[in-house]
Structure 1
C-alpha cells in the first residue's frame, strides 16, 4: 500500500469578471449549472407519468416501459465514471457544455420517435449525454466552493435535483394532458438553450483539475462492461426470470468484470477510480446510502403513478398534483439540510432523513382503493423531507470528502450509485409486484365469483395488472367488468404493499448504517491509493 497526498490547493485567484462588470462567484457557478442539472434530473422521473400514454400510443408492454426508464438510466450509469474522468482531465466547463447540447438534441430525437425501440435507443443516447453533464456540474461546484461552505452549496444543489426529480411527475402530468407524451421531451429544448446560454456566460474559463493524468482505457472498458451487465440483468430479470440463462450470464459477467476492474485499479499509476477514496468510511457509507435512497425514490415513483392513474382513476395532471407535497418538501428541505450539514456534519440530517423516508414509505404500503388525499399527502411529505435530507447528506459525504482534483470522479461515483439504485429499485420492486400479482390474482378472481385464470392466462394478464389495469373479457357486461377490475386492483395492491414494505425496511437499515458516518467538517484530506 502506498500513500499519496493530494497537492495543496492553488492560491485563490482574483475573481473572474463577466460582461457587464459583475464579479463571478461560487454562486454564479451554481446559477450557471442549475438548469442543466435540473433538466437531467427531471428526465429521470418525468417519464413516470408519461409511461401510460407512451404505452397506449406505441403499444408498449410493461417490460418495454421499464426500458424507457432503464434505457436512460443505463446510458447514465455506464458512462458516468468515464465522464467524470473526462471532466477532471479536460475541464468540467467544456464537458458540461457538450453534455447540454447533446442532451437537447437527443431529447428532440426521442420526441420524434415512431416506435418504442427507436425511443429506447435515443433514451440511452440521452443518458450518455446526461452522464457528461452531471459529474461536470458537480465538479464545477466542488472546485468553486471552499470546504466550509460546501454543505450550504450541496443543500441548494440537492434542492435543485430533488425539486426536478419529484417535480417531474407534476410537469409531466400537465404536459401529457395538454400536448401528449412527446411534450415531456420537447420541453428540454428551451430549458437546454437557457442552460447553454448561462453556462457560456457565467462559468469561468475551462480549467482541468487533473490535467496531467492519463485516460485509463482498460479501466474504462472493465467498469463499463460491469455496469452494463448489472443494469441489463436488473432490467431483464423481471420479465425473463432470475434463473434464466441470460440473467445468470449477465450477473456472472458483472462479477467477473467487476473483480477484474478492482484488481486492475489497485495499481498505483493513475487509476480511473482511486480506490483510496473508499478508505474514508463516510465516502463508502455515502455510496450505500445513495443506493438505498434511489431504491426508495425511483421504485416508489414508478409504481405510485400506476396506483394513482390505474387504481384511483386520476388523470396525469391530477397524478402530478397529488405528488406536489413531496416536490415542495424536497425543494424546501435541501437548503435547510445544507446549513445543518455545515454546522454538525452529514450524520444527523442523513439519519433523520432515512427514518422519515422509511416512515413515509411504510405509510404508502398501507394504501387501498379508498385512501384519502390527506393521508397520502402526509406520506409524501415524510418521503420528500427524508429523501432530500439523505440526498444532501450522502452527496456531501462522498464529494466533500474527496480532494478537488478528483471532484469529477467522486461526483460520478455518487451519480452512478443513484442511477444503479434507481434501476435496482424498479427491478427488485417490479419482481415483488409481479410475483405477488401472479400468486394472489386467482384467489381474488375466485372471491369475486369469477373463473380463476389459468397459468397461461396469468402470464398474459400480469403485465396489465402490474400497471394498475385489468384484462376484461371482450363483450363482458358491466357486472363482470366491475368484478374483474376490482379483483385486478386488489392483486395490484397486494404487490404494492409488499414492495413498499421492503423499500421501507431498506431505508430503515440505511438509517442504522448512517450512524457510523463521520460528522466532522469536510476537508481536502489526503488520498490513499491501495
Structure 2
C-alpha cells in the first residue's frame, strides 16, 4: 500500500479513498447527474420492454410467428437477463460500474439496430437474447452507481426518482411504439433505442465517475458462474418447453432435475470459494432475502399476467397499437406518481408497511382483471390498471432499496444483479407458467364452447389452428360464403375461450400477490449504508 498523497498534488491517486458524494471537482460524479445519466440508460431498457409488448401482435402477423415464437421474443430476452445479471453485477464490482454501464449501453443499442434489420423470427429472437446480455451489464451497474453515489438518507429518494423515470419511459413505450408500428413498421420500435443509447453514452463518458469499494473482488468464481447460469437456464427452459413437451415428459423432468442439481452444487461450491460469485453471507440478512423473494413473486404475477393484456386489447377489443398503448397509460402513469412518493414515505416510516399495502393493491388489481369480459368498458379496465400501477411503484422502489441497501458496498453490483435477476426470473417464470395454464384452459374451453354453439366439427388440423388463434384471442377471417351468424358465433367462441384463460391467469397472479404481501412483512431498511467509497 502506497503512502497517500494530498489530492492537490495528485488529482487521481491509484487507491480508493472514502469521500462524501459530490466532493469531486466539476460535474463528473455529481450524485444527481449520475442519477440522470443512469436513468437515461435504464430508460432504454424499460422503453424497449413496453414497445415490444405493443409490437408483438404485429410481429406475429408479419413474420407468421406462433404463440411460442412470440413468447420466445419475451422469454429469450428475460432468460438472457436472468442467466447473466448476477455475473454482470460481479463484473461491475470488479472492473467498475462506470465501464460496465457504458459497455451495456453500447451493446444494447447495437443489438437493437440489428433486430430492426432482421427479417425473420429467428433473427429477432437471437438478438433479443443479445439485448438481454447487454442489458444485464447495464442494469446492476446503474444500481451500483446509485448505491455508491448517494448517502443513506438520500438513497430511497434517488431510487424513487429512478423508478419514476422508468415508469415514465414505460408509459411512453406503448404510445411511441403504437405510433411507430401503426405509421411506420414494427422494426422502428427497435431503431428508437439507437439515439437514446447514443445520448446515454455521451452523458456517461462525461458525467459518470468510477466507483469501487476498497474490498472490491479481484478474481472471478468461474465454477460458480457456470453452475448458477446452468441452473437458471435449465429451470426456465423446462418451464417454457413444458407446455409443448408435457409436464410429465422425460425432457421436462430431466431439465428440472439438472436445474435442482446445479443449484445444490452451486450452494456447496459457494460455501468454500475464496471469492464467491454470490456470497451466501448476504442472505444472513432476513430483509435482503425477503426483498429478493418479494421481487420474484411481484414479477411473477405482474409480468406473467400482463403478457396477455395487449392481445386482449388488440385482438379482442380490436384496438390499434396506439389505442392499446393509450389504454395502458393508467397503469404506467400511476407508477410515475407512486414511485417518488413511495421513496419519500419509505424514508420516513420504513419499507415494511408500504410494501405490504402496495402488494395488496396489486392483488386487488389482479383479481379485478380476472373479471374482464370481451365487452368490458374502458372505465373498468382503466380502473384496474390504475390500481395495479399504484401498487407496483412502491414495490419496485421499496424492494430495490431493501436488497441493495442491505448489501455491503463491495457487493453493490451483485446486489443490483440479484434485484434484477429476481425480477427477470420471476417475469420469465410467470410468463411461462401462467402462459401454460392459460393455453391449457383455452384448449379445454374451446371444444366445449364450440359444441355449445352447435358449430360443425372441424378437421384435426383446422382445430389445432383454431386453438392457436384462441390462445391469443384472434378470430381468423371466416371463409368466403360463411353465413354472418356462423362467423359471429366462431368469433364469440374464440374470444370467450381466450377470456376464460385470461381470467385463470389473473386469479393465479392475484394469489401470488397475496403471498408476496406476506413476504413483505419481513423487510426493513438497509443497514449497510455507511457512505459511498469512490475514486476521487
State the TM-score bracket (shorter-chain normalisation): over 0.9
Alignment of structure 1 residues 361-510 onto 2, 5 Å: 361-453=366-458, 457-471=462-476, 474-475=479-480, 476-510=482-516
Stretch deviating more after TM superposition (395-404 or 267-276): 267-276
Compared CA separation, residues 309 and 253, structure 1 to 2 (3 A) = same
Q: 1:263 aligns with which of 264, 268, 273?
A: 268
Q: What is the distance in 2 between the residues matched to 1:220 and 1:239?
A: 29
Spell out, residue by residue over 1:145-200, the C-alpha distance to the aligned partner (whole angstroms, 9 max, x if none): 11121111111122223333454333322221121110110000110011111111
Does the Cα contact within 8 Å between 1:160 and 1:331 map onto a contact in 2?
Answer: yes
Report deviation, 1:296.
2.4
Compared CA separation, residues 13 and 134, structure 1 to 2 (3 A) = closer
Does the Cα contact within 8 Å between 2:97 and 2:210 map onto a contact in 1?
Answer: no
Q: 1:138 aligns with which of 139, 143, 149?
A: 143
Does the Cα contact within 8 Å between 1:45 and 1:301 map onto a contact in 2?
Answer: no
Stretch deviating more after TM superposition (336-345 or 36-45): 36-45
- The question of 1:222 aligning with 2:252 is answered no
Match of 1:58 in 2: 63
Spell out, residue by residue over 1:370-396, the C-alpha distance to the aligned partner (whole angstroms, 9 max, x if none): 111111111011000101111111111
Does the Cα contact within 8 Å between 2:407 and 2:526 map onto a contact in 1?
Answer: no
Q: 2:75 aligns with which of 48, 70, 76?
A: 70
Q: 1:12 aligns with which of 20, 32, 45?
A: 20
Q: 1:204 aligns with which of 191, 209, 215?
A: 209
Q: What is the distance in 2 between the residues matched to 1:72 and 1:96?
A: 18
Unaligned 5+ runs, structure 2: 1-15, 531-536
Stretch deviating more after TM superposition (471-480 or 171-180): 471-480
Report deviation, 1:250.
1.7
Compared CA separation, residues 288 and 453, structure 1 to 2 (3 A) = farther
RMSD over aligned CA atoms reads: 1.9
Compared CA separation, residues 250 and 268, structure 1 to 2 (3 A) = closer
Stretch deviating more after TM superposition (44-53 or 244-253): 244-253
Q: 2:528 aligns with which of 510, 523, 526?
A: 523
What secondary structure, in the 3-state scheme, does the structure 2 residue paired with 1:266 have? helix
Report deviation, 1:23.
7.0
Match of 2:101 in 1: 96
Q: What is the distance in 2 between the residues matched to 1:524 and 1:259?
A: 31
Report deviation, 1:12.
3.0
Match of 1:275 in 2: 280
Match of 1:513 in 2: 519
Compared CA separation, residues 509 and 25, structure 1 to 2 (3 A) = same
Compared CA separation, residues 23 and 273, structure 1 to 2 (3 A) = closer
Q: What is the distance in 1 between the residues matched to 2:181 and 2:207?
A: 33
What secondary structure, in the 3-state scheme, does the structure 2 residue paired with 1:214 have? coil
Report deviation, 1:10.
2.4
Q: What is the distance in 2 between the residues matched to 1:118 and 1:432?
A: 28
Report deviation, 1:500.
0.3
* TM-score for the superposition, normalised by structure 1: 0.93
Does the Cα contact within 8 Å between 2:47 and 2:169 map onto a contact in 1?
Answer: yes
Q: What is the distance in 2 between the residues matched to 1:361 and 1:170?
A: 23
- The question of 1:314 aligning with 2:319 is answered yes
Compared CA separation, residues 13 and 349, structure 1 to 2 (3 A) = closer
Q: What is the distance in 1 between the residues matched to 2:265 and 2:135?
A: 27
Q: What is the distance in 1 between the residues matched to 2:322 and 2:312?
A: 14
Compared CA separation, residues 242 and 9, structure 1 to 2 (3 A) = farther
Report deviation, 1:245.
2.7
Spell out, residue by residue over 1:250-281, the C-alpha distance to the aligned partner (whole angstroms, 9 max, x if none): 21121111111111011262111011111111
Unaligned 5+ runs, structure 1: 1-7, 526-530
Alignment of structure 1 residues 231-246 onto 2, 5 Å: 231-246=236-251
Q: What is the distance in 2 between the residues matched to 1:63 and 1:191?
A: 30
Match of 1:4 in 2: none
Match of 2:47 in 1: 42
Does the Cα contact within 8 Å between 1:472 and 1:484 map onto a contact in 2?
Answer: no
Compared CA separation, residues 63 and 212, structure 1 to 2 (3 A) = closer
- The question of 1:155 aligning with 2:160 is answered yes
Does the Cα contact within 8 Å between 1:48 and 1:301 map onto a contact in 2?
Answer: no
Instruction: Detail structure 1 runs of 4+ shifted over 6 Å in the superposition.
Output: none
Match of 1:5 in 2: none
Compared CA separation, residues 269 and 383, structure 1 to 2 (3 A) = same
Spell out, residue by residue over 1:2-47, the C-alpha distance to the aligned partner (whole angstroms, 9 max, x if none): xxxxxx98243772233xxx47421111011111111112223321
Report deviation, 1:459.
3.4
Report deviation, 1:207.
4.4
Q: What is the distance in 2 between the residues matched to 1:67 and 1:470?
A: 22
